């Protein structure tokens, strides 16, 4: 055991984090219909700038990457301007913020796609469940399998988004390769049944992720790029025949980049085996050679115990940050937390978004 806890500073590439509490990426569905962050979003992130690291809500890299109403993008100049207001506010408060880059893949609906086209995926396999649209829940459609010739274009969209995020003043980027979205759909064999160079064995299924990193790391420098993985997360109808083998190899392949961090979500532990043969994602600590961030519904005491045991270097908090904009200060003081209101998690206005009281006000 060590003396490391949530309030031990951490060097993260060129950044120095004053604490080890990251704010997890949290979709809140409060951008404009055009995917532009606005004043309400600026205030939301400004309030939470005390986090060691803020990770934005998942941010779409292109119009074809959209899968939910009122989620932000980073492909247009208007979106960059909106995000620049966010990053300036966070920096004025002394914070650090990275942009999570997102392509939803098959987790979309024609009504959310340009010209009503089909969503794309590695294979034409429809997920079980409903898409969330402006017209309400609608059953997922069978996506169109991407042609091999189209994949360089997807990589180029990530490269463009990375450059846009840099123009917006972020401190880095996180490549979203988790939770059943496009890159994760390529990684897991339950959603990837391709027979070309992007399907079959794990090295092939990881090819798109590696090509994306080859594209975005020169834009930023690898020490300002993170990756998020979800090895046992069944969300969005995801599964793999051997998650431990798959993700051990993926992490091994990621080691060559010298990334800022690897962000694992342990979500799925409450449904062991739903996403394939169960294993503890933190076993990947033995494979990964860099900074490890984890996320799994931790509270202060469990997070401190994890850090002291050396099983992770950073802990990302989701729901606690929704209801407690000053979460680090509350944890440091041992103060009680505000109770979250799940009815206001997705969509709406300031209620349940920027109106949670700070510790002093409470």
DSSP states of 256-280? GG--SEEEEE-TTTTSTTTTSS---
Return the bridge partners of 265, or none. 295
Contact between 236 and 67 (Cβ < 8 Å): no
Helix (H) or strand (E) holding 80: helix 77-92
Taking each helix axis from N to C terminus, what angle separates 243-254 and 207-220, rounded to the nearest 10 degrees? 30
Residue 25: both structure tokens together: 């990426």
Cα separation, 39 vs 355, in Å, equals 14
- Report the number of secondary-structure helices (H) and strands (E) in the chain: 10, 15
Which secondary-structure segment (H or E) carries 320? helix 319-323
**Tally of residues, the chain:** 362
Enter the DSSP assignment of 73: B
* Closest by CA position to 316, among listed 14, 17, 43: 17
Query: Strand 21-23 vs strand 314-317: parallel, antiparallel, or unpaired?
Result: parallel
Q: DSSP of 160-203, one letter per residue?
A: HHHHHHHHTT-SEEEEE--TTSHHHHHHSTTT----STTSSSHH
E strand or H helix at 217: helix 207-220
| Residue for token pair 């933190």 | 282
Of 44, 68, 181, 356, which is the active-site residue?
Answer: 181
SS3 state of residue 331: helix
- Max alpha carbon distance in the chain (Å)? 59
- Active-site annotation holds for 331: no
User: Which residues are known catalytic residues?
Assistant: 181
């Amino acid at each position: 055991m060590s003396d490391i806890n949530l309030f031990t500073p951490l060097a993260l590439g060129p950044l120095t984090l004053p604490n080890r509490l990251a704010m997890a990426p949290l979709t809140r569905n409060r951008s404009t219909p055009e995917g532009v962050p606005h004043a309400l979003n600026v205030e939301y992130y400004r309030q939470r700038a005390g986090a060691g690291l803020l990770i934005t809500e998942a941010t779409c890299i292109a119009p074809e990457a959209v899968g939910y109403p009122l989620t932000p993008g980073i492909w247009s100049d208007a979106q960059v301007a909106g995000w620049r207001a966010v990053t300036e506010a966070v920096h004025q408060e002394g914070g650090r913020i990275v942009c999570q880059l997102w392509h939803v893949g098959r987790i979309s609906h024609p009504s959310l796609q340009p010209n009503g086209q089909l969503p794309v995926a590695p294979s034409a396999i429809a997920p079980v469940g409903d898409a969330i649209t402006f017209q309400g829940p609608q059953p997922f459609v069978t996506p169109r399998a991407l042609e091999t010739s189209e994949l360089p274009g997807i990589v180029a969209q990530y490269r463009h988004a990375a450059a846009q995020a840099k123009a917006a003043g972020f401190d880095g980027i996180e490549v979203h390769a988790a939770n059943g979205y496009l890159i994760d759909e390529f990684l897991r064999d339950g959603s990837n049944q391709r027979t070309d160079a992007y399907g079959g064995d794990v090295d092939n299924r990881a090819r798109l992720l590696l090509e994306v990193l080859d594209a975005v790391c020169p834009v930023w420098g690898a020490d300002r790029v993170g990756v998020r993985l979800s090895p046992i997360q069944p969300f969005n109808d995801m599964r793999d025949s051997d998650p431990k083998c798959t993700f051990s190899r993926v992490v091994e392949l990621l080691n060559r980049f010298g990334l800022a961090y690897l962000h694992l979500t342990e979500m799925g532990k409450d449904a062991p085996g739903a996403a394939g043969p169960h294993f503890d994602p933190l076993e990947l600590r033995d494979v990964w050679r860099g900074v490890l961030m984890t996320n799994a519904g931790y509270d202060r005491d469990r997070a401190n115990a994890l850090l002291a045991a050396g099983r992770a270097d950073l802990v990302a908090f989701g729901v606690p940050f929704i209801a407690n904009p000053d979460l680090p200060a509350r944890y440091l003081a041992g103060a009680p937390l505000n109770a979250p209101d799940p009815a206001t998690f997705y969509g709406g206005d300031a209620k349940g978004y920027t109106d949670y009281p700070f510790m002093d006000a409470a």
